[in-house]
């Protein structure tokens, strides 16, 4: 905490406890807190409890145990920020802060020993009650999957099973949640198991809350995070339950048994950006289709969507056998469905040399970091590039941008943040964009670009005038805090014909909204391919004023600037490294932006 604070231990604000957490958990947390108070009283330290923070978001280390039959406790110490700081309570030294932490570490052990029977009894009762709740719940199972990208579904499967949640294959077809799941393809999670509470919080959508203030995010529906189809089973699910699930072994490369004319790769696969980057860096020609088409593969017609990658065998500088070996190796390694083709003429007269296809160039990407830039968002962009896409991506310090040769880069990533450190380099950045550079910006980076006339987007103004002439002083913090968007899941209607949404097959995409950044659709109606719906909240808390602002506003836009573009991704597409559902949008902003005219 800030230097002028004291020392905090949980429980947090009672009304902000997640309703899936039993009352016994909070009661025990308070009983444990008495041991902390007694120990801190002995050494004369100032402390407080129940007035800050919360036990709502299960993704925090101090709350995660609460949904697993344990008791998570947060300790927050006023920071001495090094050796010593002058505070409102006098000189605050590093040894003093360490003493508080050590003291409460010992009091935690004292509490654990003294309350061991209560704690063990609570844990046992937690899982017994969870199974009772499961038997009385109307939802008897959840089904999820993806008919275009199994990697994302398998990642959620992995997360569930790592928490001792039983997941099964589907033994027969089921229709639920507006989706159809075929036998042997989707996964089913019965709720009648001891991890019922964790299953519930992973899959449920929540839109009602006791309190409007949140220390962290207010929603985390994981099927939305992975952009997966999912639904509930209300009746007895036993007839749908197959064997215990495991990631399926799949063939990602299809041979036609003869010298191929070329190769077709599925851009919807999660690993496709890695596949494409490695192919392009070999100097190999890759084309992308801007039309759906059908091709004959081994005597059967197979449909391919917009965004499909085509690699012709006429590539110069590499032999046919070398190209085949490389494509097959990368397809299998990165799980990208790829097939050989025998002819450039597809069904219906559409050929693979058509003007409806574009050749893709190798892309050099960099991420702007440094003074004022949100290190979390920039770090998440780097993680997506370096760890998930396996694309080494340099980080450019904005304080040094004036001395850099930007022409080395085709795409620059501007994550959320304050970019005032770039105020002296506006003309240089403008010249780079107008010369053909593609700038991908999110959240407050868009605001800075607008303020420097580098982007023509306009912020949404409040549709409701402030009518209150008077305010109650002690309500100012909660009233202002209620308007903070700490993290909710929003629904975006997307244009599947736009290159920024190649690889998707659903006209709606769940995005993670954190912060109050709202923009009007651009004047060119074709350049706002993603808009929030008129009922934008899928799960989580947004203040009513912010709901009004976000309705039908721009979620994704492309602003032409000379030969270059500013691509606005209003929400962070890489939130905390687990929001895989919008990672394809991020990849499209990097690789497919060159095809937007």
CATH number at residue 267: 3.30.70
- In a domain, residue 479? The reply is no
pLDDT above 90 for 314: no
Residue 469 lies in a domain: no
**What's the pLDDT at 21?**
96
First to last CA, the chain: 49
Question: Residue 536 sits in a domain of what CATH number?
Answer: 3.40.50.880
Per-residue confidence band for 439, with pLDDT thresholds at 50, 70 and 90: very high
CA 60/CA 222 separation, integer angstroms? 15
Q: Check whether 423 has a pLDDT greater than 60.
A: yes
Section 89-100 average pLDDT: 94
Q: Which of 359, 384, 409 is the last residue of a domain?
A: 359
**pLDDT category of residue 18 using cuts at 50, 70 and 90:** very high
Residue 554 has pLDDT above 80, yes or no: yes
Same domain, 19 and 100: yes
Looking at the structure, do residues 200 and 215 belong to the same domain, yes or no?
A: yes
Whether 326 maps to a domain, the answer reads yes
Does 397 lie in the same domain as 452? yes
pLDDT surpasses 60 at 246: yes
Boundary of a domain, candidates 193, 214, 244: 244
User: Is the domain of 240 the same as that of 267?
Assistant: no
Same domain? For 384 and 493 the reply is: yes
What is the token pair recorded at 203?
């899959």
Tens digit of each residue's pLDDT (9 = 90 or more) over 369-411: 999 999 999 999 999 999 999 999 999 999 999 999 999 999 9
Q: What is the pLDDT of residue 524?
A: 83
pLDDT in tens, 481-512: 667 788 999 999 999 999 999 999 999 999 99
In a domain, 1, yes or no: no
Task: Assign 346 a pLDDT band (cuts: 50, 70, 90).
Answer: confident
The DSSP call for residue 319 is -
- Using alpha carbons only, what angle is made at residue 400 by residues 457 and 378, rounded to the nearest 5 degrees? 55
C-alpha of 544 from chain center? 24
Q: pLDDT digits over 37-80, tens only? A: 999 999 999 999 999 898 999 999 999 999 999 999 999 999 99
User: Is the predicted pLDDT of residue 278 greater than 50, yes or no?
Assistant: yes
> Where does 317-469 show beta strands of DSSP type E?
338-341, 357-359, 365-369, 395-397, 411-414, 438-441
Q: Which of 270, 273, 271, 301 minimizes the C-alpha distance to 288?
A: 273
Q: Are residues 62 and 45 in the same domain?
A: yes
In this prediction, residues 514-529 reach a mean pLDDT of 92
Q: How far is CA 522 from CA 328, 397, 571, in A?
A: 42, 30, 17
State mean pLDDT over 140-163: 95
CB 188 within 8 A of CB 167: yes
Q: Are residues 376 and 490 in the same domain?
A: yes
**pLDDT class for 358, splitting at 50, 70, 90?**
very high
The answer to whether 457 and 439 are in contact (CB under 8 A) is no
281 confidence band (pLDDT: 50, 70, 90) = very high
Q: Which of 182, 215, 244 is the last residue of a domain?
A: 244
User: 475 in a domain, yes or no?
Assistant: no
Q: Is residue 89 part of a domain?
A: yes
Beta-sheet pairing, 554-561 with 179-181:
unpaired
Asked if residue 527 and residue 406 are part of one domain, the reply reads yes
Residue 280 domain-assigned?
A: yes
The tokens for 135 are 């038997």
Q: Is residue 2 domain-resident?
A: no
210 within 8 A of 15, measured Cβ to Cβ: yes
- Do residues 155 and 262 both lie within one domain? no
Please check whether residues 209 and 272 belong to one and the same domain. Answer: no
Rounded CA-CA distance 499/350 in Å is 19
User: Comparing C-alpha atoms, which of 179, 154, 335, 148 is closest to residue 245?
Assistant: 154
Which among 419, 428, 427 is positioned nearest to 449, based on CA atoms?
419
Co-location of 141 and 257 in the same domain:
no
Pairing of strands 309-312, 7-9: unpaired
Can you name the residues that pair with 168 across neighbouring β-strands? 188, 244
Q: Which of 79, 75, 76 is nearest to 108 (CA)?
A: 75
Q: What is the pLDDT of residue 476?
A: 59
The pairing of beta strand 90-93 with beta strand 187-190 = unpaired
List helix spans (H) across 435-580. Answer: 444-451, 476-481, 544-550
Q: Is the dihedral of CA 116, 121, 122, 123 positive or negative?
A: positive
Q: 514 and 590 share a domain?
A: yes
CA distances from 538 to 208, 428, 510, 544, 554 (A): 12, 41, 8, 14, 17
Number of separate domains in the chain: 4
**Residue 185's domain spans which residues?**
137-244
In which band, very low, low, confident or very high, does the pLDDT at 465 lie, cut at 50, 70 and 90? very low
Condensed to tens digits (0 to 9), the pLDDT of residues 194-224 reads 999 999 999 999 998 887 788 889 999 999 9
């Amino acid at each position: 905490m800030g230097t002028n604070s004291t020392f905090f231990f949980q429980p947090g604000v009672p009304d902000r406890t997640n309703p899936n957490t039993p009352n016994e958990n909070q009661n025990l947390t308070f009983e444990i807190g008495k041991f902390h108070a007694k120990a801190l009283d002995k050494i004369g330290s100032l402390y407080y409890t129940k007035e800050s923070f919360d036990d709502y978001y299960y993704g925090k280390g101090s709350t995660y145990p609460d949904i697993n039959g344990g008791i998570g406790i947060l300790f927050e110490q006023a920071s001495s920020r090094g050796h010593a700081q002058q505070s409102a309570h006098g000189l605050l030294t590093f040894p003093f802060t360490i003493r508080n932490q050590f003291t409460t570490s010992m009091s935690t052990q004292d509490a654990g020993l003294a309350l061991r029977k209560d704690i063990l009894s609570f844990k046992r009762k937690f899982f017994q009650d969870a199974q009772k709740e499961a038997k009385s719940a109307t939802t008897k199972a959840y089904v999820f999957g993806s008919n275009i990208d199994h990697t994302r579904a398998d990642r959620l499967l992995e997360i569930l099973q790592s928490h001792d949640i039983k997941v099964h294959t589907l033994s027969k077809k089921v229709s639920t949640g507006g989706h159809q799941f075929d036998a042997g393809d989707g996964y089913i999670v019965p709720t009648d198991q001891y991890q019922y509470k964790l299953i519930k919080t992973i899959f449920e959508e929540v839109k009602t809350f006791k309190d409007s203030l949140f220390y962290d995010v207010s929603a985390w529906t994981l099927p939305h995070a992975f952009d997966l189809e999912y639904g509930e089973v209300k009746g007895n699910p036993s007839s749908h339950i197959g064997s215990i699930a495991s990631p399926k072994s799949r063939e990602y490369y299809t041979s036609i048994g003869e010298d191929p004319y070329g190769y077709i790769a599925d851009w919807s696969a999660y690993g496709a950006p890695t596949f494409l980057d490695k192919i392009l860096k070999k100097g190999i020609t890759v084309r992308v289709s801007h039309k759906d088409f059908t091709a004959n593969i081994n005597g059967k017609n197979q449909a391919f969507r917009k965004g499909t990658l085509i690699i012709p065998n006429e590539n110069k500088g590499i032999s046919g056998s070398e190209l085949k070996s490389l494509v097959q190796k990368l397809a299998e390694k990165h799980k990208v469905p790829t097939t050989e083709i025998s002819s450039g003429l597809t069904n219906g007269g559409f050929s693979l040399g058509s003007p409806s296809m574009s050749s893709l160039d190798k892309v050099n990407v960099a991420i702007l970091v440094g003074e004022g830039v949100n290190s979390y968002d920039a770090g998440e962009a780097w993680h997506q590039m370096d760890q998930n896409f396996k694309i080494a991506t340099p980080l450019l310090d904005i304080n040094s941008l004036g001395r850099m040769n930007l022409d080395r880069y085709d795409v620059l990533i501007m994550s959320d943040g304050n970019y005032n450190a770039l105020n002296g380099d506006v003309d240089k950045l403008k010249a780079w964009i107008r010369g053909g550079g593609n700038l991908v910006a999110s959240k407050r980076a868009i605001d800075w670009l607008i303020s420097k006339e580098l982007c023509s987007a306009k912020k949404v103004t409040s549709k409701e005038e402030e009518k209150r002439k008077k305010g109650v002083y002690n309500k100012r913090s909660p009233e202002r805090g209620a308007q903070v968007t700490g993290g909710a899941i929003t629904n975006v209607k997307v244009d599947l014909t736009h290159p920024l949404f190649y690889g998707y097959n659903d006209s709606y995409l769940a995005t993670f909204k954190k912060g109050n950044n709202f923009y009007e659709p651009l004047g060119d109606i074709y350049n706002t391919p993603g808009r929030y719906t008129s009922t934008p909240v899928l799960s989580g808390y947004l203040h009513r004023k912010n709901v009004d602002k976000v309705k039908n506003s721009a979620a994704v836009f492309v602003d032409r600037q000379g030969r270059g573009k500013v691509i606005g991704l209003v929400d962070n597409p890489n939130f905390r490294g687990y929001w895989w559902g919008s990672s394809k949008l991020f990849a499209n902003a990097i690789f497919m932006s060159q095809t937007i005219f």
